[in-house]
Structure 1
Amino acid sequence: MSAHSHPASQPNGHPAASSASAQPADVLTVPTTAGYVRGIYEQLEDGSRVRSWRGVYFGDTTAGPARFQAARPVPPWAGVRDASEFGPVAPQPTYSWTERVEGSEDCLHLDIVRPDTDRTLPVVVYLHGGSYIVGSSHMFMLRGFNMARDLDVVYVSVNFRLGALGYLDVRSLAGQACANPALSDQLLALHWVRDNIAAFGGDPQAVTVMGESAGGAAVLTLMASPAAQGLFHRAIAQSPPISLVHSRAQSTLWARELVNRLALPRMSTVRDLQDQDFADIVRAGQSMMWRKQELLHLNSCYAPTVDRQLLPEHPIDVFESGTQAPVPLLIGTNADEASFAKFLFQRARARRRAGVRLLSSFDSAAAEEVVAQYNGAHSRSDFAQLLADALFWAPAVAVAEAHAVHHPTWMYSFEFAPVVLRALGLGAVHSLELSHLFGDAQASRISVLTRMGSAADFAGVTQTMQQHWRQFIHAGDPGPQWPAYRVFHSGDPAQRLEAARDNSGADVGLRAVRRFDVESSVVCDPKADKRLAWQDYNMRQWGAGRPELVEALDFITSLLD
């Protein structure tokens, strides 16, 4: 593809529009509610091409007085705006030997890719992962050129605020603030898709919201948000750490720690934070994440916050109450999400203590019983599996169990790992499935390892997964080879979830899970004993094992209400 020069900027920082006629010259010049955009063709390796629009702004700048506020629509422009270059990433650390921060607060843009046809196609809106801290709509893996072609969709990848600027509720400081800036960004993007995607050949009545890791949790958060109702029609949540949602007490802890790390007075306000350089906020946020050592208690700095508005309750509570978005859901995890944890502790006793400490942060009464199901987490493998299940599998099962009571649900387990990853003891690590779904073995950060192995095996897993995802996106059902996840047999809607929670469905066809490997298969209720242990564990309220800290934080928040 030929190089493209960066467009000039308007005073607000957005690329300037050209003085071209307001009438579209070709299929790459498309009207939006704010103005025309002109895209480019992207040539693929097989000789085919797709249409691509990059850095299309849906929201205004989030800098200055707009920092920590709800997203606002992009101001209209005249003429035709160039959409040949990706927009800036949201402010984020670079994890280099320096403290360099990259990005811009004028980051509310999205990228669109579609096959080079004029057919109306279903839409995939993708939310990137990155622990709520890093990532972008145009990470190399997520550009979606092959996915748009292979799944025959209009692919929309969304950029949104991250870290302290997007996933930290600062309402405990004096002043006005939005509790969930990133969630407001995602909601605004979905409104933009509803109002504009038809002009790009997308069907606004067939929108699938999809994400992995933090992006998968964002999908479930949107399903739990009343403000998102009706904006999408199917959902795909891959490896979603949905239990890690902030309470008001947690938000208070981290907002005050941010002020401390910025060396500001204790009584600083939201306005004081708005006056800081965004790079200083990002650096302070990284400092408190690593030096506060709260990750030892599963207390992440950044997450969506239960705010009684955009997110009225913890998402798992919303699912269990049956008030989530009534859409088909495809959800699952990888078999070895946290295999890196095998190398964290040298002694078996330390691994067990760490496992109990992690789980006690949410439910001190049930922590020991859960750890016992993993052989006390004594071995490296057992500890790694405990951590993976705590962060990803158990929350995903809780969501699947609740959603399946009322709405179509399908669950998967991704278990394919190239020979080198198996030899290293890593297996099907976190995010490994993305190479298959996006149809690009070279885009992975560990592609040097994943390339070593059978190309036929890799291609077979890719074809199988893409067929199921395509069928789900186009029809709301991944196909007859993938049975729905069901928690009871009866079609009687009065039958409650509790009727099927105390026994395994392995013998009666309940809780079907699609396993993706060289030889894919369907299993029923895998790890049933572990599921039963986790169902009695409360993963919705952080702080049970630290009552003195939570009591003090709750006292502070009570003064704010």
Structure 2
Amino acid sequence: MTSLSEVTTSEGIVRGHREGKVLRWLSIPYAAPPVGDLRLRAPQPARPWTGVRDATTYGNAAIQHASGSRIGARTSQPQSEDCLTVNVTAPAEPSSAPRPVMVFIHGGGYVFGTSAVSLYHGNGLASNGDVVVVSFNYRLNVFGYVDFTQFGTADSPIESNLGLRDQVAALEWVQRNIAAFGGDPANVTIFGESAGAAAVTTLLATPAAKGLFHRAIAQSSPADWGLDADTAADLGRSCVEALGADADNAAEALRSADPHVLRRAAGRVFRENLANNPGVLTMMPVIDGDYLPQHPLDAYADGNAHNVPLIMGTNRHEGSLFAKYLDDLPTNPERVKKMFAQSNSVPLDRIARHYHGYPSERTAIKLGGDFIFWRPTITACEAYSQHAPTYNYRYDYAPPMLNRMGLGATHASELIAVFGFGETKAGRALTVIGGRRDLHSVTERVQAHWLSFARYGAPLTSWPEYKTTTRKTLVFDTTTRVVADIDRDRRLAWALYPRPYAPAADPAAEAAG
């Protein structure tokens, strides 16, 4: 039996439903559908409606490969360009004061994913922590992360960074509306995982996002994701060519193409680039000098980020998930060797010597995972901590089931603790061969820190700030401990490796210098 709850938003009334201890409202529009002439345009205001809008079921996922919008083991969410919606989960019990708000940004490499995945529901986090949890969908792959601005005209403009602009629009919706759901618009924490964490670290450097959130949590962020404008323009031209168009008819072809035809054309460019440059993805925000004026890592170093308190960390075995299931990152010796050959700077042995057993497959997986996630996370923490409170973690815990599968504390596994997924009916399968008590304990500790941070702007006092003088990291495992300068030799070795997405040096400028 469910009870209904009606809330008046700035665009109209929405009706949600009760699930146990929480109330949920699903797929509320935060912007107009980016279809027709609005394809490749910045998000426009959502259209008001009359009457009561049903918000009891999920709507559409963003356009992506069919396998990407799975919300469970056997079911997929429908896909459409009409996907710009938010979900709200709040405790059913009324509160005398506004509740902290936690806005989750889903991952998926900016090419797949959906906020409807059961792992992200937020029911346990909302009820256990007395917070309001928000999630949302945003444009992915070619629709959100390829720069076609060169093909726009004064009469028919095309904007850059559409997925990033969608995220800002969702946060603007939160500011306008979350008080109606019992949330505090003056206490908003954004948190995300993988590409969602990259979104977090990018929003920290996005001027339009200033004031829309007050704390940030980045879980396994490839924090150096950000293309220079020239590289992004080249990729945009390659996608137009893959679509069978040219500069003269590009705008019309891009706007009129079937969405999946357009997605597949850009996907061919994406995969070819990844094959030639292992570890270097191409669908990501562009440093356009306007909406995103500086690379996030440069903004951190210069003190130009929003400088709100930040939690940022990685998992111990980031690469194992990709090696076993996704097979698209430098997680084998062949791809690692090719990656270093492309960098044309640091010899592989300068870094590989710090990975005992290299070039074994297992060690290559560790090296590749560190390259994508841990290396840029430490760089970001070093820069950001000079200007704002910063807390670094490493998540080492894995239930016996994940160890038996050869995954360990793999990419995204910390989400099990963050959302309390192990306490759900589906999540209990993770502990069918043991480890339930340990997972419960780790979940309690992770959530206590995340919720303290969301409520007060700092985790519990047992977690010290990350400073370059001490480099203290909190390690989550069956016991939690603080480690100073974790993996120091690897950190120093990776510091020699050039940022993968930095623009190529101008030989003339170098000569003049």
Q: Same fold (TM over 0.5)?
A: yes
Alignment pair present for 1:471 and 2:443: no
Alignment match, 1:515:
475
RMSD over aligned Cα, in angstroms? 2.6
Amino acid at match of 2:113: G
User: Do the aligned partners of residues 64 and 353 (structure 1) sit closer, same or farther apart at CA in structure 2, a change above 3 Å counting?
Assistant: same
Alignment match, 1:498:
none
Deviation per CA, 1:302-353: give whole Å up to 9, x if none.
Answer: 1111111121111111111111112000010000000256679xxxxx9555
Pick the aligned partner of 1:152 from 107, 130, 145: 130
CA deviation after TM superposition for structure 1 residue 294, in Å: 3.8
Amino acid at match of 2:491: R
User: Do the aligned partners of residues 351 and 79 (structure 1) sit closer, same or farther apart at CA in structure 2, a change above 3 Å counting?
Assistant: closer
Alignment match, 1:554:
none
Alignment pair present for 1:410 and 2:382: no
What does 1:48-67 correspond to in 2, within 5 Å?
Answer: 49-67=21-39
Task: Describe the SS at the equivalent of 1:206.
Answer: strand
Contact 1:343-1:380 at 8 Å conserved across structures: no
Higher mean alpha-carbon deviation, 149-158 vs 355-364, is at 355-364
Contact 1:187-1:228 at 8 Å conserved across structures: yes
Alignment match, 2:368:
387
Distance in 2 of aligned mates of 1:111 and 1:58:
10
CA deviation after TM superposition for structure 1 residue 446, in Å: 8.8
Alignment match, 2:85:
109
Distance in 2 of aligned mates of 1:422 and 1:143:
25
Pick the aligned partner of 1:318 from 299, 303, 318: 299
Amino acid at match of 1:202: G
User: Do the aligned partners of residues 468 and 300 (structure 1) sit closer, same or farther apart at CA in structure 2, a change above 3 Å counting?
Assistant: same
Gaps of 5+ in 1: 3-25, 44-48, 345-349, 489-509, 552-561
Distance in 1 of aligned mates of 2:349 and 2:33:
48
Alignment match, 2:72:
none
Distance in 2 of aligned mates of 1:268 and 1:450:
56
User: Do the aligned partners of residues 447 and 320 (structure 1) sit closer, same or farther apart at CA in structure 2, a change above 3 Å counting?
Assistant: farther
Pick the aligned partner of 1:425 from 378, 396, 406: 406
CA deviation after TM superposition for structure 1 residue 271, in Å: 3.0
User: Do the aligned partners of residues 132 and 372 (structure 1) sit closer, same or farther apart at CA in structure 2, a change above 3 Å counting?
Assistant: same
Alignment match, 1:38:
15
Distance in 1 of aligned mates of 2:380 and 2:498:
13
Alignment match, 2:144:
166
Contact 1:415-1:428 at 8 Å conserved across structures: yes
Distance in 1 of aligned mates of 2:249 and 2:348:
38
Distance in 2 of aligned mates of 1:237 and 1:254:
27
Alignment pair present for 1:303 and 2:284: yes
CA deviation after TM superposition for structure 1 residue 300, in Å: 1.3
Deviation per CA, 1:401-421: give whole Å up to 9, x if none.
Answer: 111111111111000112233
User: Do the aligned partners of residues 341 and 85 (structure 1) sit closer, same or farther apart at CA in structure 2, a change above 3 Å counting?
Assistant: closer
Task: Describe the SS at the equivalent of 2:101.
Answer: strand
Pick the aligned partner of 2:112 from 129, 134, 142: 134
Contact 2:422-2:430 at 8 Å conserved across structures: no
CA deviation after TM superposition for structure 1 residue 138, in Å: 1.5
Pick the aligned partner of 1:441 from 422, 428, 442: 422
Alignment match, 2:230:
249
Higher mean alpha-carbon deviation, 87-96 vs 301-310, is at 87-96
Amino acid at match of 2:82: D
Deviation per CA, 1:69-99: give whole Å up to 9, x if none.
Answer: 1111101222222211212111111139xxx
Contact 1:366-1:536 at 8 Å conserved across structures: no
User: Do the aligned partners of residues 425 and 485 (structure 1) sit closer, same or farther apart at CA in structure 2, a change above 3 Å counting?
Assistant: same
Alignment match, 1:196:
177
CA deviation after TM superposition for structure 1 residue 362, in Å: 4.9
Task: Describe the SS at the equivalent of 1:515.
Answer: strand
Contact 1:59-1:109 at 8 Å conserved across structures: yes
Distance in 2 of aligned mates of 1:130 and 1:204:
27
Alignment match, 1:75:
47
Task: Describe the SS at the equivalent of 2:386.
Answer: helix
Contact 1:94-1:101 at 8 Å conserved across structures: no
Alignment match, 2:328:
none
Alignment match, 2:510:
none
What does 1:320-335 correspond to in 2, within 5 Å?
Answer: 320-335=301-316
Alignment pair present for 1:529 and 2:489: yes
User: Do the aligned partners of residues 430 and 444 (structure 1) sit closer, same or farther apart at CA in structure 2, a change above 3 Å counting?
Assistant: farther
TM-score where L is the length of structure 2: 0.89
User: Do the aligned partners of residues 173 and 377 (structure 1) sit closer, same or farther apart at CA in structure 2, a change above 3 Å counting?
Assistant: farther
Contact 2:18-2:24 at 8 Å conserved across structures: yes
Distance in 2 of aligned mates of 1:267 and 1:338:
43
Alignment match, 1:8:
none
User: Do the aligned partners of residues 320 and 147 (structure 1) sit closer, same or farther apart at CA in structure 2, a change above 3 Å counting?
Assistant: same
Alignment match, 1:260:
241
Contact 2:4-2:18 at 8 Å conserved across structures: no
Deviation per CA, 1:114-147: give whole Å up to 9, x if none.
Answer: 0012222000011000111111121111111111
Contact 1:92-1:133 at 8 Å conserved across structures: yes
Task: Describe the SS at the equivalent of 2:53.
Answer: strand
Distance in 1 of aligned mates of 2:336 and 2:426:
29
Contact 1:59-1:73 at 8 Å conserved across structures: yes
CA deviation after TM superposition for structure 1 residue 33, in Å: 1.3
Identity of counterpart residues, as a percentage?
A: 36
CA deviation after TM superposition for structure 1 residue 372, in Å: 3.7
CA deviation after TM superposition for structure 1 residue 445, in Å: 9.2
CA deviation after TM superposition for structure 1 residue 66, in Å: 0.8
Distance in 1 of aligned mates of 2:137 and 2:399:
31
CA deviation after TM superposition for structure 1 residue 396, in Å: 0.6
Contact 2:99-2:183 at 8 Å conserved across structures: yes
Higher mean alpha-carbon deviation, 126-135 vs 297-306, is at 297-306
Distance in 2 of aligned mates of 1:365 and 1:180:
32
Contact 1:68-1:181 at 8 Å conserved across structures: yes
Amino acid at match of 2:6: T
Amino acid at match of 1:184: R
Pick the aligned partner of 1:88 from 44, 57, 60: 60
Alignment match, 2:162:
181
Which protein has the larger Cα radius of gyration, Structure 1 or Structure 2?
1
Contact 1:122-1:473 at 8 Å conserved across structures: yes
Contact 1:163-1:282 at 8 Å conserved across structures: yes
Distance in 2 of aligned mates of 1:447 and 1:386:
31
Contact 2:16-2:23 at 8 Å conserved across structures: yes
Contact 1:245-1:314 at 8 Å conserved across structures: yes
Alignment pair present for 1:358 and 2:358: no
Deviation per CA, 1:131-185: give whole Å up to 9, x if none.
Answer: 1111112111111111111121101101110011011111233542111001110
Higher mean alpha-carbon deviation, 190-199 vs 244-253, is at 244-253
CA deviation after TM superposition for structure 1 residue 384, in Å: 1.2
Contact 1:328-1:409 at 8 Å conserved across structures: yes
Contact 1:367-1:537 at 8 Å conserved across structures: no
Alignment match, 1:397:
378
Q: How many residue pairs are counted as aligned between the two chains?
A: 490
Amino acid at match of 2:392: M
Distance in 1 of aligned mates of 2:238 and 2:264:
13
Task: Describe the SS at the equivalent of 1:406.
Answer: coil
